[in-house]
Structure formats: C-alpha cells, structure tokens
Amino acid sequence: MSITYTQINKVRERKGAWWLFVDHHGRRKARRVGVGKAGKKSAEQAAIQIQAKLAQGDASVLSPKPDRQVPATTFATLADEWLEKYPAVHAVAASTMENYRSFTRQHLGPFFGEMAVSAITADTIEDFIAAKRGSGGSVRFTGKSLSDGSLRTGLLTLRLILQRAVRVKLIAGNPAKEVEWRGTPRIAQVDPFSSRELRQILTTAERLDADLATMLRLWAQSGMRAGEVCGLKWGDLDLERGAALVQRTWSRQRLGPTKTRQTRLVSFLHPVAGEDTAEWRPGATDGAWRALECLSGTKVRSLNPEAFVFGHGDRPMGSMELHRAWRRVLTAAKVRYRSPEQLRHTFASTMLSRNAPLLYVQQQGGWRSASVLRVYARWMPQDPAITAPRQPAATYPQPEGRSAASAGTVSAG
C-alpha cells in the first residue's frame, strides 16, 4: 500500500508561522519551522527529507527527543549570586557584608564550592562543622581549629545562602535549619581598669603623647566604642555642654553608621577617669571637666568642622596606630595589658557601681537594650534600699557649660 506525500507531510501556515505536520501510521508530530518565505521554504525542504527517511523505514523523526539535561547549580554559583544580590536588597552594614564574603571565600567555597546545591544535606553541613572545629579548620592559624565565634558567623552566612536556594526553587527546604549545633557560649571579656590603673594610664599618656591622653580620657568618660571615638569630627563636639554627637564609626579603613545604626548625644564629662568618688552625673567633679581643657590644648586644631578630632585632618587614626600607642602607654605605666575597648567596659562598670540608672548607661553607651548590661551585674549595688529608680536618661539634665575662667576658653573651631 502506497502512501502519498501529502498524506504524510503537510506544510501549513499557522498564526503567522510555517509548520510541518507529519502523520505516519497513526503517529503524529508537529514542528514549527519559521516565518515568511524563508520559513515556508525550510518547511518544504524538511518535508522532503522526512519523507525520504520514512520511505526507508527510518521513523526516528517521530520519536520524542530526550529531555535536555540542565547542569545542576553548584554552591559556588549560588554563593556568587547571593553575595551580589543580598547587599543590594538588604540594609546590611559594609563590615558585616565583608565578614560574609571573607568566610565564603576562605571556608564555604573550598568545602562546598563544586558541590551541587541539591546535594547539600544536614549531614554534609555537620561534616563541615566537624572539619572546621578540628585541627586545620582555621585558615589564619596553621594547625588550629576555627573558633566557635567565627564558625557561628559562618553558619549564619551558609544559612542565608541556602535560603536563597529555597526561594529560587533549587531545593525544597533549608538543610542548615535542621542542623543542631551549639558552640561555646559567648562570654563578654569584661575586665575593667581600677581607678588607680586608669590614673596611671592617663598620667603616663600625658607624658608620652598629650593628644592620645585626651582621646583616652574622652573615651573613658563617655563610654563610646573604639570606632566611634576615632570617627569623631570637630563639628560633632558641643564644647559648651561637654557633649558629642555620635553618628558614625571608623572600622576597617572606612566610615559607616554606628553599630546600632542610630545617632545619639553623649556627655564626655562623667567622673570616670580615675576619680575616687561616688558621683556619676556628668560634670559632678572638677576632674570630670579635665576633658574639655585637654581638647582645647590639642596640638593640632582644625578650623574645619569636618576634620577628625583624633587623626590626621581628613583621615581618622588607624586601628594599628591606636593599638601600638596603647600598648606603649600600658607598658610604660606598668599596667596589666587589656585591649583599649576595656575603657568602654570601665565606663559601664564604674557608672553602674555608683548607682547610675540602667537606662541612662544604656543610652550613653549606645547598647541596643538594657538587658545587654547584665554582663556588668557584679558591679551593680546589691542592696535594694540603695538602688535608684531606673528612670530614662531624658529625666537627667546635662550639665551647664562652665565659664572660660574655670574650664579654659574652648571653641568648636
């Protein structure tokens, strides 16, 4: 039985395009070829070729084409996409994003990089944790394990990356959420200086570097963070009231918002700099006003309000420069070494030990919550009879400015 050409192959125009329809022994197939004259010509040529194959008994043209295998998305590809998109759509600090990038590059990439995202399971992540906590887990220190603090940050990064995989339908659920891991508890390294130690530090600093001594005094009397002190500009200072507007931080060679992303006005006249007194209110002692006198006597005073108070004009003091100077002062003062950030802890512990209101200390130091200050509990008065009401900071007025005769003539410049 012969089958005519038109019974097997039909070239037709449909919705502006030329199609080829094949009907061979009840098996049908349709294929869009093209548009216009060229499309019609291609369809007719294809019909002739298919007719020839069918005449020879080759019906492969009617067999369904195998599904094209799409390469599985690797973790490295997913991580690159996440590192690009996440900071673009989230308000995340530059330093935080830098931590994410660094951990991904140094730890997540080498371990998960070429692995298909769909192949990552809770067991795989546990293997990663075990490898990082074992000898050689650290990249920075040969033969050492990665600290639980660093690992905690890294696992957060991994969870966020895999959450993107869930969102774009690469995986059904986030395996990082199934991992039961508990690192060593975070312990705040609170080791404040005694009044005697702080006096020794400031006295020695005044002898070695008067400007550094001013910085350390202001730091101890305000409770600011290291980056906030370094980021102060002359225009931030209110030298009549002895206050500073804290609105930026200097970290990793860049300026950014404060840790809580909030601006606050703080006094740097608290009687904390080595004074033996029960007073906590700003300006309550003559010694507390010493910070203003020191600021007026700094070696370099810029008339530009945008110049940094502690640094080199348009550039703040660098972290390495600060730590070298700090170590030199502590060595000369013969005071047991602690990091300069302990000046902030000294402020908090001293203020609370003198019964300063909890909410006031929180506001001055810029802590997110008063509950964070529980690490200073052992310095708080234990007798309820002497505990002052925990009133908001706004109920405590700032001190009035002093006259030039008593505090020295100072100007914001």
What is the reported pLDDT for 400? Answer: 54
| Structure tokens given for 407 | 């505090």
| Structure tokens given for 377 | 């509990």
**What are the strands of the beta sheet with 9-14, ordered from one edge?**
9-14, 17-24, 27-34
Cβ-based burial of 18 (10 A; exposed 0-12, middle 13-18, buried ≥19): buried
Q: How far apart are CA 350 and CA 152, in angstroms?
A: 31
What is the reported pLDDT for 323? Answer: 93
Please say whether the beta carbons of 316 and 250 come within 8 A.
yes
Q: How far is CA 239 from CA 43, 120, 280, in A?
A: 87, 58, 20
Q: Is 322 left (phi over 0), alpha (psi -120 to 50) or beta?
A: alpha
For residue 365, give the H/E element and its range. Answer: helix 358-365
Please say whether the beta carbons of 245 and 238 come within 8 A.
yes
CA angle 397, 262, 325 (to 5 degrees): 85
| Structure tokens given for 255 | 């300026």
Please say whether the beta carbons of 367 and 373 come within 8 A.
yes
Instruction: With CA atoms as reference, report the closest residue to 74 among 173, 163, 162, 155.
Output: 162
What is the reported pLDDT for 408? Answer: 40
Q: How far apart are CA 108 and CA 88, in angstroms?
A: 21
What is the reported pLDDT for 41? Answer: 79
DSSP state of 115: S
Q: How many CB atoms lie within 10 A of CB 378?
A: 10
What number of residues does the chain have? 413
Structural domain boundaries in the chain:
5-62, 75-178, 195-407
CATH superfamily label, 75-178: Tyrosine recombinase, N-terminal domain (1.10.150.130)
Instruction: With CA atoms as reference, report the closest residue to 260 among 389, 369, 100, 153.
Output: 369
Quick one: how far is CA 331 from the chain centroid? 33
Please say whether the beta carbons of 158 and 108 come within 8 A.
yes
What is the reported pLDDT for 6? Answer: 39
DSSP E strand stretches across 107-146: none
What is the reported pLDDT for 392? Answer: 44
Please say whether the beta carbons of 391 and 358 come within 8 A.
no
DSSP E strand stretches across 129-211: none
What is the reported pLDDT for 2? Answer: 42
What is the reported pLDDT for 45? Answer: 79
pLDDT 10s per residue in the chain (413 long)? Answer: 344 443 456 787 877 777 777 776 667 777 776 667 777 877 787 777 777 777 777 776 666 655 555 578 899 999 999 999 999 988 888 888 989 999 999 999 999 988 999 999 999 999 999 999 999 889 888 889 998 888 998 999 999 999 999 999 999 999 999 998 877 766 668 999 999 999 999 999 999 999 999 999 999 999 999 999 999 999 999 988 999 999 999 887 888 888 888 999 999 999 998 788 999 999 999 889 998 888 877 665 666 888 999 988 788 998 889 999 999 999 999 999 999 999 999 999 999 999 999 999 999 999 988 888 888 988 888 654 444 444 444 444 455 555 433 444 333 33
Please, which residues have CB within 8 angstroms of residue 367's CB and are 6 or more apart in sequence? 260, 373
CATH superfamily label, 195-407: Intergrase catalytic core (1.10.443.10)
